């Protein structure tokens, strides 16, 4: 299997590697996959609560070159999008962009799952956070 130039590029120069503060109210963390499967992706987003725009994204991945590239690309793509726009990202978009062969499509699926998991986590945090003053009123 030859890797596409884009996969190699993401592997050699991964974008947005790192971690954000999990406990921050503006950060959504998605952790998907499992070590026994050979694929674990952690994708984090920092969302502007007024505009719902994803201002920052970081990732870390345990997985093959295609998995690393898929998650790196995912962080690139979600940055600057609103949360709803990010939810529209489909794994086949990743497959096309990175020219992933059929045997590696599941890596793109996991990246899509990671985006959704991060957004889901952020949304949960927003829902449980009361508007200012509401908790005080009885």
Among 89, 98, 111, 113, binds other proteins (CB under 8 A): 113
Of the candidates 110, 123, 113, the one whose C-alpha atom is nearest the C-alpha of residue 83 is 123
User: What mask of x and - would describe binding to other proteins in positions 66 to 95, judged by CB under 8 A?
Assistant: xxx---------------------------
Among 6, 9, 17, 82, binds other proteins (CB under 8 A): 17
Among 21, 24, 25, 37, binds other proteins (CB under 8 A): 37
The whole-angstrom separation of Cα 10 and Cα 117 is 22
Q: Which of 107, 110, 115, 119 is the catalytic position?
A: 107
Which of 45/67 has CB closer to other proteins?
A: 67
Task: Based on the residue annotation, tell me whether 107 is a catalytic residue of this protein.
Answer: yes
Other Cβ atoms closer than 10 A to 1: 8
What residues have CB less than 8 Å from 96, skipping those under 6 apart? Answer: none
Chain positions 115 to 134 lying near other proteins, rule: CB under 8 A, are 117
Q: Longest C-alpha distance within the chain, in Å? A: 64
Q: Provide the pairing of β-strand 54-62 with 39-47.
A: antiparallel
Task: Based on the residue annotation, tell me whether 64 is a catalytic residue of this protein.
Answer: no
The whole-angstrom separation of Cα 81 and Cα 73 is 14
How many helices (H) and strands (E) would you count in the chain?
A: 5, 3
Which of 103/132 has CB closer to other proteins?
A: 103
Catalytic residues: 37, 107
Which stretches of the chain bind other proteins, using CB under 8 A? 1-3, 8, 11, 14, 17, 19, 31-42, 60-68, 103, 110, 113, 117
């Amino acid at each position: 299997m030859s890797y596409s130039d884009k996969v190699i590029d993401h592997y050699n120069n991964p974008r947005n590697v790192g971690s954000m503060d999990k406990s921050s109210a503006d950060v959504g963390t998605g952790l998907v996959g499992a070590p026994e499967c050979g694929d674990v992706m952690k994708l984090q987003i920092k969302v502007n609560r007024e505009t719902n725009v994803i201002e920052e994204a970081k990732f870390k991945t345990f997985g093959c070159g295609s998995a690393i590239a898929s998650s790196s690309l995912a962080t690139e793509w979600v940055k600057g999008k609103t949360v709803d726009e990010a939810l529209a990202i489909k794994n086949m978009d990743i497959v096309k962009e990175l020219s992933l062969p059929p045997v590696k499509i599941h890596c793109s699926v996991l990246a899509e799952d990671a985006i959704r998991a991060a957004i889901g986590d952020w949304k949960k945090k927003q829902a449980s956070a009361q508007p200012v003053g509401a908790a005080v009123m009885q």
